[in-house]
């Protein structure tokens, strides 16, 4: 990692608030994510963790407060400025979001052809390199529909890496996978950490994955950050909601929270 940026924030939030209509989803969050850090945002359904990720990449707008990514105030930046900033980001969506009408290789080549200015022959080489890095060598001509769930996740990772981003965002990277495939995705993230000087922000509710890959874990609950620290420290937390989540203890009064989570989910909050 470049010594000039060690310990300096690449993403900063101060009193960050996000609303959907009259409902406030994120309640005055304050945090810094440092250059080269792998931060896991951990929380259950309806916690607001995916809303936070969408706000960081500029897909959701804050109601008040400040969120800066690479020094850009995301609440005040123009759409053009945010679009330029996204070229320095890689985003892997929960379902992969591969275009079914394109081959795997064409999916990965798309951002390079649109934004890099590289010759098509060079793009082909880059596509093969990215596929090799995620363990999918030789799959460039396959249709996304021919891939397993784990392979789709890997292909989405390759596309996220296409532009050699400074920040990688992963939304539920191991969701819906069996334990063996999920472990493979975790190992891939660890390998990417070794291969790239890149900041990673990973949204998940998978405890095993979070504690394996994270340098730091932020626990989000009902729109608030209730814990923030390295995995070993988090394991020792005595915060009742953190302990409930880590120990997988259901709410004593089941029903109210479940209904509230379902309502928030249908409004687009996860």
pLDDT in tens, 166-186: 999 999 888 878 888 889 999
Tokens, residue 12: 């900063």
How far is residue 141's CA from residue 89's CA, in Å, rounded to a whole number? 25
Percent of the chain with pLDDT over 70: 90
- With beta carbons less than 8 A apart as the criterion, state whether 74 and 11 touch: no
Angle between helices 120-133 and 149-161 (to 10 degrees): 130
Q: Under 8 Å CB-to-CB from 109, ≥6 apart: which residues?
A: 123, 124, 126, 127, 162
* pTM for the model: 0.86
Q: Under 8 Å CB-to-CB from 38, ≥6 apart: which residues?
A: 189, 193, 199, 200, 202, 213, 214, 215, 216
- Could you tell me whether strands 167-171 and 23-34 are parallel, antiparallel, or unpaired per DSSP bridges? unpaired
At residue 249, the pLDDT reads 84
How far is residue 240's CA from residue 179's CA, in Å, rounded to a whole number? 28
Q: Under 8 Å CB-to-CB from 179, ≥6 apart: which residues?
A: none
Domain 1-88+214-270 sits in CATH at 3.40.50.300
Q: Which residues of the chain have pLDDT under 70?
A: 1-7, 252-270
- With beta carbons less than 8 A apart as the criterion, state whether 265 and 50 touch: no
At residue 7, the pLDDT reads 65
How far is residue 43's CA from residue 134's CA, in Å, rounded to a whole number? 27
Per-residue b or e along 94-121, where b marks 16 or more CB atoms closer than 10 Å to that residue's CB:
bebebeeeebbbbbbbbbbeeebeeeee
């Amino acid at each position: 990692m470049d010594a000039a940026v060690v310990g300096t924030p690449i993403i900063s939030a101060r009193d960050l608030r996000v609303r959907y209509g009259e409902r406030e989803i994120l309640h005055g969050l304050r945090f810094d994510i440092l250059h080269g850090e792998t931060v896991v945002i951990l929380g259950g359904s309806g916690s607001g963790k995916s809303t936070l990720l969408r706000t960081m990449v500029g897909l959701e707008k804050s109601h008040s407060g400040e969120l800066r990514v690479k020094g850009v105030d995301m609440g005040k930046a123009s759409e053009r400025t945010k679009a330029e900033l996204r070229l320095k980001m890689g985003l892997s969506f929960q379902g992969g979001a591969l275009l079914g009408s394109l081959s795997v290789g064409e999916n990965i080549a798309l951002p390079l052809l649109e934004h890099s200015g590289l010759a098509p022959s060079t793009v082909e080489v880059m596509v093969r390199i990215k596929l090799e890095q995620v363990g999918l060598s030789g799959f460039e001509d396959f249709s996304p529909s021919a891939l397993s769930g784990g392979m789709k996740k890997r292909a989405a990772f390759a596309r996220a890496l296409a532009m050699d981003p400074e920040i990688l965002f992963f939304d539920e990277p191991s969701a819906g996978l069996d334990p063996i495939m999920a472990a493979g995705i975790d190992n891939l993230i660890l390998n990417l950490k070794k291969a790239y000087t890149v900041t990673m922000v990973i949204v998940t509710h998978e405890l095993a994955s979070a504690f394996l890959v994270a340098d730091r874990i932020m626990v989000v609950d009902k729109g608030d950050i209730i814990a923030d620290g390295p995995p070993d420290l988090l394991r020792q937390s005595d915060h009742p909601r953190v302990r409930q989540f880590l120990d997988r203890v259901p709410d004593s009064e089941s029903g109210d929270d479940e209904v509230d989570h379902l309502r928030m989910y249908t409004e687009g909050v996860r």
